[in-house]
């Protein structure tokens, strides 16, 4: 079946669809040995030989979803012309080819997702999905209230005004302040540029949350695999899944015999009422009712007879 080249490249775990478009435009993709540079081009993976940089696409049936605590000094890419360390170098023991979902700058640290599921990655990075991303920013000097309000309300950048953000103070000291900035856009170096726009000098930048996921106890350079629930939860609006309804276990009655239970407690349907728990006399039933004996006639009276 014919599929767009950027979709095939993404499904093969090379990169995201958006980044695959750049590969096509740069002339790095071939179909049956012929360079293809048109974004609308299609190919049949069952019949055609699609290659990127001369390497044929290989489709993995097993999808991987990885959460990495990225240290500073690593490139969020699969190759680098300056031969700097790559984030994939940290994934020891991962044999499948995975690529980053979005990116973190060379000097930015924190939570980074990697996968070989192109459709999943594309949905997370699409602007309409609006996954929340929280950053902790260490700023040189003091942060003024007015600067925090400007960040929260949206600031003018060269590529347009940013969407409203959630900004709060995390920690304050004499030399530096830590603030939290939560955004749902995915512009290049957005948080750094936002801070620069309000005259804040960023000393350290760390992403601490992506949707409902946080770094947890992972140390820099460590990673873990996402659970199935986490993978599905990120696809919910804002990347935060709805909590599962909790099962409420009804407490057992602690009332003793002869003592009325306190509170507005309803008995299960069909349970017999007894005087021990309600204080009322037992209801008459067929078993405990005494048959009424016919009255005897008084002396001098004729015996009563029943009318038929």
Q: Which of 89, 105, 159, 214 is catalytic?
A: 105
| 141 Ramachandran zone, left/alpha/beta (phi>0; psi -120 to 50) | left
CA distance linking residue 87 with residue 72, whole number of Å = 10
CA distance linking residue 276 with residue 302, whole number of Å = 46
CA distance linking residue 294 with residue 297, whole number of Å = 9
CB contact at 8 A, 254 and 94 = no
Give the torsion through C-alpha atoms of 157, 159, 160, 165, to 10 deg: -60
CA distance linking residue 214 with residue 225, whole number of Å = 13
CA distance linking residue 271 with residue 51, whole number of Å = 73
b/e map of 204-233 (b: 16 or more CB within 10 Å)?
ebbbbbbbbbebeeeebeebeebeeebbeb
Q: Catalytic site residue 177? A: no
Question: Looking at the DSSP assignment, which residues form a beta bridge with residue 135?
Answer: 181, 207
CA distance linking residue 197 with residue 303, whole number of Å = 113
Cβ-based neighbours of 48, under 8 Å, separated by 6 or more = 31, 32
- CA-closest candidate to residue 138, choices 111, 108, 113, 163: 108
CB contact at 8 A, 110 and 206 = yes
User: Annotated catalytic sites, by residue?
Assistant: 105
């Amino acid at each position: 079946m014919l599929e767009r080249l950027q979709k095939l490249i993404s499904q093969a775990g090379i990169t995201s669809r958006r980044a695959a478009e750049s590969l096509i435009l740069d002339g790095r993709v071939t179909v049956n040995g012929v360079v293809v540079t048109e974004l609308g081009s299609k190919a049949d993976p069952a019949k055609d030989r699609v290659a990127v940089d001369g390497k044929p696409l290989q489709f993995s049936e097993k999808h991987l979803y990885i959460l990495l605590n990225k240290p500073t000094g690593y490139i969020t890419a699969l190759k680098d012309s300056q031969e700097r360390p790559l984030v994939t170098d940290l994934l020891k023991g991962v044999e499948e080819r995975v690529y980053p979902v979005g990116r973190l700058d060379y000097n930015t640290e924190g939570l980074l997702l990697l996968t070989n599921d192109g459709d999943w990655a594309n949905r997370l990075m699409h602007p309409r999905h609006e996954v929340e991303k929280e950053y902790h920013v260490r700023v040189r000097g003091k942060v003024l209230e007015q600067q925090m309000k400007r960040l929260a309300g949206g600031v003018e950048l060269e590529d347009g005004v940013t969407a409203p953000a959630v900004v709060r103070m995390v920690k304050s000291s004499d030399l530096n302040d830590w603030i939290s900035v939560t955004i749902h856009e995915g512009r290049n170096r957005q948080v750094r540029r936002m801070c620069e726009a309000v005259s804040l000098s960023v000393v350290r930048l760390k992403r601490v949350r992506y949707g409902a996921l946080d770094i947890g106890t992972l140390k820099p350079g460590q990673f873990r695999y996402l659970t199935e629930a986490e993978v599905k939860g990120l696809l919910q609006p804002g990347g935060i899944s709805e909590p599962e309804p909790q099962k409420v276990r009804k407490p057992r009655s602690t009332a003793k015999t002869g003592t009325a239970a306190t509170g507005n407690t309803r008995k299960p349907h069909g349970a017999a009422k007894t005087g021990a728990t309600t204080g009322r006399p037992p209801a008459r039933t067929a078993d405990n009712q005494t048959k009424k004996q016919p009255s005897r006639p008084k002396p001098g009276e004729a015996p009563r007879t029943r009318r038929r």
